[in-house]
Copies of this chain bind each other. A is one copy, B any other.
Amino acid sequence: MTPPTTGRVARAPRRLPGAPASTNAGRELSAGVPVEPGTARIAVDLLGGDEAPAVVVDGALRAFDADPDLHLVLVGPPEVADGVRDVLPPTQRHRISIRAAHNVAAADQPARSGRADTSVRAAVASVAEGAADAVVSAGATGATVTAAALLLGRWPGVRRPALVATLPALAGPVVLLDVGGSLEASPATLSRHAVLGAAYASVAHAVVEPRIGLLSVGTEAGKGDRARRAADPVLADQPLPVGGRYIGLVEGYELGHGARADVVVTDGFTGNVLLKAIEGAYAMAGGPPASGGAPRAAALLGIAGSVVVCHGAARGDDVASGIALAAHLHRRGAAAAISTLLADSGRDIRTTNTEVTA
């Protein structure tokens, strides 16, 4: 099988001068090598993930080697963190700091993950306390969301943060949300995802005037289940930041092609099964394409800080991608920039959020 021709659709007119080409933005998330300068201090939850700490240590070392401006705050059992530092050349060990934590957060159930001494809580705390710029965990998403909401705070009006993933499609990166933050598909929630997705595409991927599509079973108006038919007109009326434009309904192909939409909006249930099905398809195809497969790292939107969650089944290179994504988001000041864009978008978005929280 030949690798896909990337950049088949010219995207230059849609990008800011100096912004990474879309295919690089795609590669960035999969190969985990951000090109922007500036120190990034990333807190890494050594105990999060099905195969922690081994794969997290592997990922941390890969990210460390790939990005000379990266500093890591390794949060977990000191003996594990010491082991990581010991394998580094003495001249590099100053780029590692260690925060002790011994308990793994409970399964993906926020109610049960409230204990204060888990590794994910300690990792988020290092951001809250200013010792780190962003946090990465491959542990239970619910536990990470709970810790982040508690210690970093939510954006005004956001009840449940959204998880956003970027897929490297043929025509450039496609931002997909929600991939598991909130599973219900109310028009207000989908409308909020459109706003968040437009802002994220602009800030994280420098997409100019992002095109927003609502995922459905056909492109003609009226296609879809009750939730999509109800949401379509709501999204059409929803003012979008950064010159974002709602283009109507898109189909599943869009996640691989990316020709019509830069942002694909759906509910967290559909987005989550989609992302995993695409991963399964790449496994079936003999591995992800050279330019990157389904991302195993997603950014949490709605939290006042840079939080990246990796898939529980993440491998070392997935964790490295998550760390690279966290560093990328910090270097772009993503959390603050997106939060400002939402505030500037004014009344309508607050209304949407009020509906969501009502």
The answer to whether the Cβ of A233 comes within 8 Å of any Cβ in the partner chain is: no
Q: Residues of B contacting A287 with CB < 8 Å? A: 1-2
Given contacts A180-B217, A285-B1, contact A253 B276 (CB under 8 A): yes
> Is B283 a contact partner of A257 (Cβ separation < 8 A)?
yes
Interface residues in A196-244 by Cβ distance below 8 A to B read 215-218, 220, 223-226, 228
The answer to whether the Cβ of A270 comes within 8 Å of any Cβ in the partner chain is: yes
Partner of A225, one of B168, B267, B282: B267
The answer to whether the Cβ of A18 comes within 8 Å of any Cβ in the partner chain is: no
The answer to whether the Cβ of A358 comes within 8 Å of any Cβ in the partner chain is: no
In the complex, what residue of chain B is closest to A283 when comparing beta carbons?
Answer: B256
> Is A273 a contact partner of B288 (Cβ separation < 8 A)?
no
Closest CB in chain B relative to A328 CB, distance in Å: 21
Q: Residues of B contacting A280 with CB < 8 Å? A: 169, 252-257, 278
Taken together as a complex, chains A and B put the C-alpha atoms of A175 and B187 apart, in Å, by 31
Taken together as a complex, chains A and B put the C-alpha atoms of A251 and B269 apart, in Å, by 11
> Is A253 a contact partner of B224 (Cβ separation < 8 A)?
no
> Is A282 a contact partner of B256 (Cβ separation < 8 A)?
yes
Taken together as a complex, chains A and B put the C-alpha atoms of A319 and B272 apart, in Å, by 31
Q: Residues of B contacting A274 with CB < 8 Å? A: 252, 273-274, 277
Partner of A276, one of B223, B252, B269: B252
The answer to whether the Cβ of A12 comes within 8 Å of any Cβ in the partner chain is: no
Given contacts A183-B217, A183-B225, A217-B269, contact A286 B4 (CB under 8 A): yes
Taken together as a complex, chains A and B put the C-alpha atoms of A61 and B253 apart, in Å, by 28
The answer to whether the Cβ of A164 comes within 8 Å of any Cβ in the partner chain is: no
Closest CB in chain B relative to A22 CB, distance in Å: 13
The answer to whether the Cβ of A279 comes within 8 Å of any Cβ in the partner chain is: yes
In the complex, what residue of chain B is closest to A226 when comparing beta carbons?
Answer: B184
The answer to whether the Cβ of A107 comes within 8 Å of any Cβ in the partner chain is: yes
Taken together as a complex, chains A and B put the C-alpha atoms of A134 and B276 apart, in Å, by 35
The answer to whether the Cβ of A338 comes within 8 Å of any Cβ in the partner chain is: no
User: Lowest 9 CB-CB distances: which A-B pairs, in order?
Assistant: A256-B280, A252-B276, A252-B277, A1-B1, A256-B284, A183-B225, A253-B280, A252-B273, A281-B281
Residues of A participating in the B interface, judged by any CB pair closer than 8 Å: 1-4, 107-108, 168-170, 180, 183-185, 215-218, 220, 223-226, 228, 251-257, 266-270, 272-289, 293-294
Some 23 contacts from A to B, beta carbons below 8 A apart, are: A1-B289, A108-B220, A216-B273, A217-B272, A225-B267, A228-B269, A251-B273, A251-B276, A252-B273, A252-B275, A252-B278, A253-B276, A253-B277, A256-B280, A257-B283, A257-B284, A273-B274, A274-B277, A277-B278, A281-B294, A282-B285, A284-B289, A285-B289
In the complex, besides A4-B286, A266-B273, 14 extra interface pairs with C-beta distance below 8 angstroms are: A1-B285, A169-B284, A216-B273, A251-B276, A252-B272, A252-B273, A252-B280, A255-B280, A256-B280, A257-B280, A269-B270, A270-B273, A285-B288, A285-B289
